[in-house]
Structure 1
């Protein structure tokens, strides 16, 4: 056994390079074997000295003109220098001497792809698959999958990966890749069958359990997905992506407490991410624990301060607690990043209205209907604010503008009627109410919210009673 093989190899390479330089300069030199030229080429290639590597390949081929190995190395270098047609010519020559080298087909594929000849690359690899088996066949299938990806034949990418896993069920690279392509192609049922078979043979493959779970999740079978993820984390308790996806499945089932538990596990296992804190915040939000929701949203903001949506979510938690001023501060942060988002303007208008700052509120609601003219919620908020501010003439004008902009949504007839009643124009108001009830009696509650005492008006009660018969309000 050699004491220091690395040092000996280095000395040997040094001597080969010296002999090679002597050859180039026409000085006396030892005979260089074919393998020596291969090592010299690799040395220059590793140093990113492609011209010198190419020169060494040429020199080697002068000595060994029938060496397919040296031809393949030369073709590889030509590809690296973007001489694709020259590379193909060299590879054609190499194939005459040895057609059993897998690198021949892989390099040819690279050349065809570089020349935008995907069909030729596919044809070559499909024919080559019949010549190889074992690891080499799997390498060709991976290569073919990449070609199909480039060719945008995405179902065939899935087919290649499926073939690999049928031959080698525990192939990690294929297991990782097929998860993405299952989701991308929507072939979840096939993926479920494939991974169930793999699990039968390899019950402790955490990747197979994960892929099975992801396929169930793709079909919205969240309970089954969770069961499979739990097997994955039982095998590998540090499998953070399984916890992450399990958290999403629990969220979809509205099992917020369980979602929080697994998402907190993700935070233990990986570097903190804003999306995880945001998801935990969302869970607390839906559970009505607004203080905890804010706490986690703020952690997310700390990691991603330029995400306006996070500032908005914090504001919403304050709004739900009627802490209008605190909500305004968060909305100002959101709007410094993205000013014209309708949801932010709508929320800001709501806060300003509840702070009795009506002119500001009207301005924000006005911005919403400018950005999204068909947005019913924006028009409703604007009209309600104008009524609350006692700008009745303007409210009536906006009712008509809203009706026109939203192609006659009946809700604005109810608002129009409510404004007319407030202004003492009862006859016109009753006509509007009658029309509104004909079109959408279920929206009566919007009318009543403006002025609950209106139900003491006998004429209004008569109209409502007429439409109650046989129609749900």
Structure 2
């Protein structure tokens, strides 16, 4: 790569400095060279070399304000805030209009979690700096630390007004809008921004994300299209475009978009999984399975890949294979309620009632409080003859679903099976009051109870 003058100059300075360290010869550098060398090492995380360069620099240029400001930066980096502040006060007495003094003061107060004071110093720095964009960006960050998102957004926007190419500020503006649930306002802002900077692939990509967030998938696709036209290797935009196309049920185009991400870089398990899902939606079962297998080959720890294969085999009613693959997913994430629910359903389908009961129990334990999960769980206990446990579980379920006929009819059948007629009739009465149509549950699940004369008489008397 061709280096411009500054890069070449810096590389020569670095080579010369490192040669000096190796040979113990003393070479002369001007103060700005030392500043560049020190900041280079700080950026590289080589604090020891930065400190060596600072020491030599101050020996050669003891009165250099620039080097002393770099010294402040190192002191702040080392959390020696009091020393840094003392040195800044000395520099302030010499150069009260040097914006870097106020910026470093702000950095100290920010480290002390005194963000309001940091903002005050940064606002003073605005009076003296030529880098307005940089200072507005720092003010925005301080407001972010204070969770003052509106003020943060305002300053990041000011930063972009000074430097329209500042991508970090653009990301931060969008972040603030999103955090404030102002997606539509964010889209309006980006339209204005794009009017001034139409070839910003980042802006188009962010607009696509925002449109996707408000479920305007058509405009999302259009925005991602612009992002990929500007940068035809923008993998993130191709990936997001694929997601939006899926939402529009344009599965062939979605496959093409995901495939582009694979062509541009190594295959990702996510792209392979989504391609598989698209093929499945198009009815290409074998092709879908091929991609699901590629997914787990690419990333054996991607539980969603194993679940996709599980669901494929559930659809094929190949429950033994489905059981094998759901266990693969659970080995990776054994606290996923949806996986446990599948585990329960698969075992239920092959009459493994104990395993099915365990699966539904774990699903509820990990937060699945859907009515059907409770009922499947109870039905497994019923099949196993665990009537008392089934009753306790239904009582627990009724806390979430207090007026649910399906719960009441099950409680009626279980209590009557245990010869607890008073309780059984109470729940049967509740069921009849709530929904007569579900009375068939009693007949299907408790046929012997249904046939009892006393039960039929009670139903006739209480049925409305």
TM-score scaled by length of structure 1: 0.75
Is 2:221 the counterpart of 1:230?
Answer: no
Secondary structure of 2:79's counterpart equals coil
Distance verdict in 2 for CA 1:9–1:186, change over 3 Å: same
- Counterpart of 2:106 in structure 1 is 109
Q: Distance in 1 between matches of 2:340 and 2:278?
A: 25
Shift of 1:398: 5.0
In structure 2, the partner of 1:36 is 30
Bigger mean CA offset, 9-18 vs 263-272: 9-18
1:26 corresponding residue in structure 2: none
DSSP 3-state at the match of 1:356: coil
- Counterpart residue number, 1:273: 268
The CA deviation at 1:149 is 2.9
Deviations 1:22-43 (A, max 9, x none): 99xxxxxx9x7xx635535655
Query: Is 1:52 the equivalent of 2:52?
Result: yes
Show the counterpart of 1:402. Answer: 393
Measured on the aligned residues, the alpha-carbon RMSD in Å equals 4.5
Q: Note if contact 2:143-2:151 (Cα within 8 Å) is conserved in structure 1.
A: yes
Query: 2:429 and 2:136 mapped to 1: Cα distance?
Result: 71
Between the aligned partners of 1:125 and 1:445, the Cα distance in structure 2 is 73
Distance 1:369 1:83, change over 3 A: closer
Partner Cα separation in structure 1 for residue 218 and residue 14 of structure 2? 63
1:413 aligns with 2:408: yes
1:125 and 1:140 in contact (8 A); partners too: yes
SS at match of 1:203: coil
How far residue 125 of structure 1 moved from its aligned partner, in angstroms, is: 0.8
Match of 1:125 in 2: 122
- CA distance change for structure 1 residues 284 and 94 in 2, over 3 Å: closer, same or farther? same
Task: Tell me the matched-pair count.
Answer: 442
With over 3 angstroms needed to count, the CA separation of the structure-2 counterparts of 1:102 and 1:279, relative to structure 1, is farther
Seen in structure 2, the aligned counterparts of structure 1 residues 414 and 12 have a Cα distance that, compared at 3 Å, is: closer
Residue 304 of structure 1 deviates from its aligned partner by: 3.1
Equivalent positions of 1:11-160 (< 5 A) are: 36-40=30-34, 43=37, 46=41, 48-60=48-60, 62=62, 65=63, 67-133=64-130, 136-160=131-155
Contact 1:42/1:53, CA 8 A, preserved across alignment? no
Deviation at 1:141, TM superposition (A): 1.5
Partner Cα separation in structure 1 for residue 261 and residue 410 of structure 2:
49
Q: Which runs of 5+ in 1 are unaligned?
A: 24-29, 468-473
Structure 1 distance, partners of 2:305, 2:198, is 41
Partner Cα distance (2:432, 2:314) in 1 = 33
- Hey, what's the Cα distance between the residues in 2 that align with 1:60 and 1:345? 70
Question: What secondary structure does 2:232 align onto?
Answer: coil
Q: Does 1:171 align with 2:166?
A: yes
Which TM-score applies when normalising by structure 2? Answer: 0.76
Cα deviation per residue 1:409-441 (whole Å; 9 max; x = unaligned)? Answer: 421333456779999999999986554232134
Q: Distance in 2 between matches of 1:159 and 1:398?
A: 59
Question: Do the aligned partners of 2:141 and 2:152 also contact (CA within 8 Å) in 1?
Answer: yes
The aligned counterpart of 1:353 is 348
Question: In 2, are the aligned partners of 1:58 and 1:74 still within 8 Å (CA)?
Answer: no
Report which stretch shifted further, 418-427 or 430-439.
418-427
Corresponding residue SS for 2:164: coil
SS of the residue 1:107 aligns to:
helix
**SS where residue 49 of structure 1 aligns?**
helix
| 1:228-377 aligned within 5 A | 228-286=223-281, 289-339=284-334, 341-365=336-360, 367-368=362-363, 376-377=371-372
Aligned counterparts of 1:15 and 1:369: Cα–Cα separation in 2: 64
Following TM superposition, by how much is the alpha carbon of 1:123 offset from its aligned partner in structure 2, in angstroms? 0.6
- Deviation of residue 202 (structure 1)? 3.2
> Of the candidates 174, 190, 193, which is equivalent to residue 195 of structure 1?
190
1:418-437 → structure 2 map (5 Å cutoff): 435-437=430-432
Matched residue of 2:210: which SS? helix
**Structure 1, residues 339-363: CA drift from partner, whole Å, max 9, x if none?**
4544334323332333234444445
Q: Please report how far the alpha carbon of residue 203 of structure 1 lies from its aligned counterpart in structure 2 after TM superposition.
A: 3.0
Give the Cα separation in 2 of the matches to 1:125 and 1:42: 23
Alpha carbons 1:212, 1:225 under 8 Å: kept? yes
Is residue 2:191 matched to residue 1:218? no
Alpha carbons 1:57, 1:74 under 8 Å: kept: no
Q: Quick one: structure 1 residues 44 and 239, their matched pair in 2 at CA, closer, same or farther if it must change by over 3 Å?
A: closer
The corresponding residue for 1:471 is none
Deviation at 1:327, TM superposition (A): 0.7
